[in-house]
Structure 1
Amino acid sequence: MTAAAAWPAQGRLWLLTFILFVSYLCVAMSLPVVPLFVTGALGFNNALAGLAVGIVFLATILSRGRAGSLSDRRGARGAARLGLGCYIAGALVSLLAGLLPAAPAGAFAVLAAGRLLIGLGESLVGVGVVAWGIGLVGPERAGRVLALVGAALYGGFALGGPLGLWLYGALGFAGTMAVAAVLPLAGLFAMALVPGVPAVPDAARPSFWSLMGTIRTHGAIVCAQGIGFAAIGAFFSLHFLDRGWSGAGFGLTAFGAGFVLVRLLLGGLPDRVGGLPVAIGSLGVEAAGQALIWLAPGPGPALLGAFLTGLGCSLIFPGMGREVVRLVPAHLRGTALGGFAAFQDLAYGLTGPVAGLMADRAGYPAVFLVGALAGLAGLVLALRLARARARAA
C-alpha cells in the first residue's frame, strides 16, 4: 500500500482541497484584471468587458454534461487532470492577447479563445474534484465535500483578486497570465498523492436532459444565487474606480473572506440539518449584501456588502448539491453534479454581458440591485420547494 493510500479519507480530501485552491488561482487572478484590460488597454466598453468575463461560463455551461459523463465513465482523476491542462493552455493563449494591444479586435478574439479554454478547464476540474471527493468520503458527507471544494475555489478568489491586480500593475496583462499558467502545474504534480476512485463505465444511464428535469428547481436556486457573485466579480472594481474610492481590489477578498469563513465553520451544516433550510436562510443574507452594495455611500459599506454576499452565497451550492446527490444513483453522480453546476454557470455567463449593458445605461449600482432581486427570487423558489416537500411528506 502506498503512503497516499494509507491516509485517512478526510486527510485525502483536505489535500484535494489544497490542490484545488492553488490551481484555481489561475482563474481568480484573471477575473478582476480582464475587465480592466478590455476597457483600458483595448479601449472597449463595459458590455464587451462583461462578455470577456462571462464567456468562461459559456464554455462551462456547454461542457458540464460531457465533463460529468467523462468523470463517471473514465474516472474523476482523469477529468480533473485534463481540466488543469486546459487552465494552463487558456492562460498561455490569454497571454498572447496581452502582446497585441495595437490590434484591439485581434487581441479581444485571442483573449476570448483563451477564456473559453479556461472555462472548459473549470468544468472538468469542478466536476472531477467533487466526484473524486465524494468517492473518497462517501455520499453521506456530500455537503461537506461541496463545502470544502467551494472554500478552495472562493479562497482562491479572495487571494487571487488582489494578487491579480498587483501583478497587472507590476507586469501588465501578459505577465499576469504567465504567472497564472504556472500555478496549475503544482496541482498536476500533487494529484499523484491522492488515490483515485473507481469509474463505472458500463452502467445504464438515462439521458442528460432527463436528469436535468429531476434537478431543475435545485439548479434554478443556485442560478439565482450566482448572479450576486458574478456582479461582484465583473463590476465591483469598476464600480469603485468610477466612484473614485480606494480598495477596488478587495471586493473579491471581502466576498471570499465571508464565503470561506462560513464554509470552514459551518460547512457540515447541510449534512446535519438539510440543504434546503440552509439555502433559505443563506439567500436572504445574500440579497441583503447585494442591496447594501447598491445603496452604499462609500467604500466601507460596499465592502461590507461584498462580505455579506459571501456569507450568504457560501452554503447554497453545497446545500442544494447535497439534495441533488441524494436524488441520483452513484454511477450518475458526476453527470448530475455537472448539470447542476451548469445552472450556476448560466448565471455567471449571462450576468457579465447583461449587467455590462445595464451599467453603460444606468450606472454600476444598478448591477447590484439586480443581484439583490435575484437573491430574493431564489428565496421564493426555495420556499416553494420546501412547501412542496412538506405537502408530499
Structure 2
Amino acid sequence: MPEPVAEPALNGLRLNLRIVSIVMFNFASYLTIGLPLAVLPGYVHDAMGFSAFWAGLIISLQYFATLLSRPHAGRYADVLGPKKIVVFGLFGCFLSGLGYLLADIADNWPMISLLLLGLGRVILGIGQSFAGTGSTLWGVGVVGSLHIGRVISWNGIVTYGAMAMGAPLGVLCYAWGGLQGLALTVMGVALLAVLLALPRPSVKANKGKPLPFRAVLGRVWLYGMALSLASAGFGVIATFITLFYDAKDWDGAAFALTLFSIAFVGTRLLFPNGINRLGGLNVAMICFGVEIIGLLLVGTAAMPWMAKIGVLLTGMGFSLVFPALGVVAVKAVPPQNQGAALATYTVFMDLSLGITGPLAGLVMTWAGVPVIYLVAAGLVAMALLLTWRLKKRPPSALPEAASSS
C-alpha cells in the first residue's frame, strides 16, 4: 500500500474532490468497457455473421482476463507504486481500441478480424484490472488509509456512472462512424486519461517485504467468501429481473434496474462515513439484512410495486457491502501487501458474478424465476452468519480485523 504524505486532516468536500481527482482514471477505464458493450455482440453476430456463442465469448474474454490479472495488478501496485500501474492499465485500454480499429480494417478476413477483436478484449480486461486496482490504491495513498472505505465507495460510484454513460454513447459512436468511430472514441478516452495521469505526483510504494500470494489469500478469503455470497443478490437482479417481469407479465423491468442503480449510488453518497463510524463488519451485517429483505420482497412479489421496493432495498443493501468488508480485508495484511489483498478480495466478486448467471439459470429452469431470488436471499443470509462469526471470533492471525470490527 502506498504511503500518504503527511498533511492536515482532510474532510468534507475537499476530501471528496481529492478522491475524485484520482478515481476519475478508473472512470475512464470503465468508460472504455461501457462504450463497446452494447455494440460488439451485435457486430460479431449480425455484421460478421458469427454465432451467438462467439458474440458472447468476445464479451466474456474481457471478464476472464480481468479475473486472472487482478492478483498481479495488486502485487505490482505494491511493488512499483499505483501511479505506474494506472498508466499501464490505461495504455492497455488504449490498445484495446487499437484492436477494434484493426479488426475493422481486416473486416474482409472474418477470422482475423474476430481474432483482433478478441485480442483487444483480453488487453482491455488486463488494462481495467490494473487501472481499477491502481486507482483505488493511489486514492488511498493520497488521502490516507483512514479513508479507504470512502475511496472504494467512490470507485464504485464512478464505475456505475461510466458503464451507464458508456453503453448509449457507444451506440451513438457506432451509428456515427461504425466500428472505426467506436474504436477511435475508446482510444481517445484512454489517451486523454493517460495524459492527465502522467503529470500528477506519485505516492511512495511501501518498501516492506511482500507476503506470498498464498499467505495473502489465507488472510482475506473469509471476507471474500462473504462478499461472493452477497454478490449473488446483485447478480440475479442484474441478469434476471427482465425475465422475472416477463414471467409475471408486468411492464417496468428497465425502471426497476434504474431504481437499483439509484439506490446503490445514493446509499454510498448518503453514508460516506458509515464504515468509519460503525466499523466494516457492523455495516456489512446491516447491509446484508436490508439486502435479504429486498430479495424476499422480489421473490414473493404479487404486485409490481412490491418488486420495485424489493429491488430498491437490494440496491441499498448491496451498496456498501464491498467497501465495508474490503476495509477489514485490506487491514488483515501488512501495509506493503494491501494492494495484493484488495485485488485478491475483488476476485471473489468477479467469480461470484461469473457463476451466478449460469447457476441461477439452472435453478430458474427447474423451479421458476421467483425462486432464484429466494435462493439468493438464502445465500446472503449465509454471508450474514459468516460475518457475524468473523465479528465474534476474528481469525487469530488477523489482529487488524478484530480492531476494525
Both structures adopt the same fold (TM-score exceeding 0.5) = yes
Q: Secondary structure at the match of 2:185?
A: helix
Task: Please state how far the C-alpha of 1:239 moved relative to its aligned partner.
Answer: 6.7
Q: Which gives a bigger RCO, structure 1 or 2 (Cα 8 Å, sep 6+)?
A: 1
Residues 148 and 267 in structure 1, CA contact (< 8 A), matched pair in contact too: no
Instruction: Describe the shift of the 1:227–1:98 C-alpha distance in structure 2 as closer, same or farther (beyond 3 A).
Output: farther
Task: Please state how far the C-alpha of 1:73 moved relative to its aligned partner.
Answer: 0.9
Q: CA RMSD in A?
A: 4.1
Residues 25 and 135 in structure 2, CA contact (< 8 A), matched pair in contact too: no
Higher Cα Rg, which structure: 2
- For the pair 1:79 / 2:85, whether they are aligned, the reply is yes
Residues 71 and 334 in structure 1, CA contact (< 8 A), matched pair in contact too: yes
Letter matched to residue 87 of structure 1: C
Instruction: Describe the shift of the 1:341–1:195 C-alpha distance in structure 2 as closer, same or farther (beyond 3 A).
Output: same
Question: What whole-Å deviation, never above 9, does each CA across 1:34-68 have from its counterpart, x for those lacking one?
Answer: 566677766745x7766555443322221122111
Percent of aligned pairs with the same amino acid: 34
Of stretches 34-43 and 262-271 in structure 1, the one that deviates more from structure 2 is 34-43
Partner of 2:30: 24
Q: Give 1:50-129 correspondences, 5 Å limit.
A: 52-94=58-100, 110-129=116-135
- For the pair 1:207 / 2:198, whether they are aligned, the reply is no
Partner of 1:254: 259
Unaligned runs of 5+ in 1: none
Of stretches 344-353 and 242-251 in structure 1, the one that deviates more from structure 2 is 242-251
Residues 158 and 254 in structure 1, CA contact (< 8 A), matched pair in contact too: no
Q: Give 1:342-353 correspondences, 5 Å limit.
A: 342-353=347-358
Of stretches 12-21 and 123-132 in structure 1, the one that deviates more from structure 2 is 12-21
Residues 79 and 125 in structure 1, CA contact (< 8 A), matched pair in contact too: yes
Residues 278 and 319 in structure 1, CA contact (< 8 A), matched pair in contact too: yes
Task: Please state how far the C-alpha of 1:72 moved relative to its aligned partner.
Answer: 1.0
Partner of 2:3: none
Letter matched to residue 74 of structure 2: G
Task: Please state how far the C-alpha of 1:132 moved relative to its aligned partner.
Answer: 0.7
Residues 291 and 317 in structure 2, CA contact (< 8 A), matched pair in contact too: yes
Task: Please state how far the C-alpha of 1:351 moved relative to its aligned partner.
Answer: 3.1
Residues 155 and 257 in structure 1, CA contact (< 8 A), matched pair in contact too: no
Question: What whole-Å deviation, never above 9, does each CA across 1:59-93 have from its counterpart, x for those lacking one?
Answer: 22211221111111111001011111222223443
Task: Please state how far the C-alpha of 1:120 moved relative to its aligned partner.
Answer: 1.1
Of stretches 23-32 and 312-321 in structure 1, the one that deviates more from structure 2 is 23-32
Q: Secondary structure at the match of 2:331?
A: helix
In the alignment, the residues of structure 2 paired with residue 362 and residue 173 of structure 1 have an alpha-carbon distance, to the nearest angstrom, of 41
- For the pair 1:315 / 2:323, whether they are aligned, the reply is no
Q: Secondary structure at the match of 2:83?
A: helix
Instruction: Describe the shift of the 1:390–1:111 C-alpha distance in structure 2 as closer, same or farther (beyond 3 A).
Output: closer
Q: Secondary structure at the match of 2:201?
A: coil
In the alignment, the residues of structure 1 paired with residue 285 and residue 228 of structure 2 have an alpha-carbon distance, to the nearest angstrom, of 14
Partner of 1:285: 290
Q: Secondary structure at the match of 1:87?
A: helix
Unaligned runs of 5+ in 2: 1-5
Residues 87 and 198 in structure 2, CA contact (< 8 A), matched pair in contact too: no
Q: Give 1:156-171 correspondences, 5 Å limit.
A: 156-164=162-170
Residues 232 and 251 in structure 1, CA contact (< 8 A), matched pair in contact too: no
Residues 161 and 252 in structure 1, CA contact (< 8 A), matched pair in contact too: no
In the alignment, the residues of structure 1 paired with residue 167 and residue 293 of structure 2 have an alpha-carbon distance, to the nearest angstrom, of 23
Residues 290 and 309 in structure 1, CA contact (< 8 A), matched pair in contact too: yes
Q: Give 1:138-153 correspondences, 5 Å limit.
A: 138-153=144-159
Partner of 1:385: 390
In the alignment, the residues of structure 2 paired with residue 300 and residue 208 of structure 1 have an alpha-carbon distance, to the nearest angstrom, of 47
Task: Please state how far the C-alpha of 1:275 moved relative to its aligned partner.
Answer: 0.6
Task: Please state how far the C-alpha of 1:288 moved relative to its aligned partner.
Answer: 4.0
Q: Secondary structure at the match of 1:328?
A: coil
Q: Secondary structure at the match of 2:261?
A: helix
In the alignment, the residues of structure 2 paired with residue 107 and residue 294 of structure 1 have an alpha-carbon distance, to the nearest angstrom, of 43
Partner of 1:274: 279
Partner of 1:216: 221
Task: Please state how far the C-alpha of 1:346 moved relative to its aligned partner.
Answer: 1.2
Partner of 1:185: 191
Task: Please state how far the C-alpha of 1:137 moved relative to its aligned partner.
Answer: 1.4
Instruction: Describe the shift of the 1:118–1:349 C-alpha distance in structure 2 as closer, same or farther (beyond 3 A).
Output: farther
Q: Give 1:346-361 correspondences, 5 Å limit.
A: 346-355=351-360
In the alignment, the residues of structure 2 paired with residue 273 and residue 312 of structure 1 have an alpha-carbon distance, to the nearest angstrom, of 16
Question: What whole-Å deviation, never above 9, does each CA across 1:332-385 have from its counterpart, x for those lacking one?
Answer: 111111111111111133334545666777776666555444333322322222
| Count of residues in correspondence between the two structures | 387
In the alignment, the residues of structure 1 paired with residue 367 and residue 41 of structure 2 have an alpha-carbon distance, to the nearest angstrom, of 18
Task: Please state how far the C-alpha of 1:307 moved relative to its aligned partner.
Answer: 3.8
Instruction: Describe the shift of the 1:36–1:72 C-alpha distance in structure 2 as closer, same or farther (beyond 3 A).
Output: same
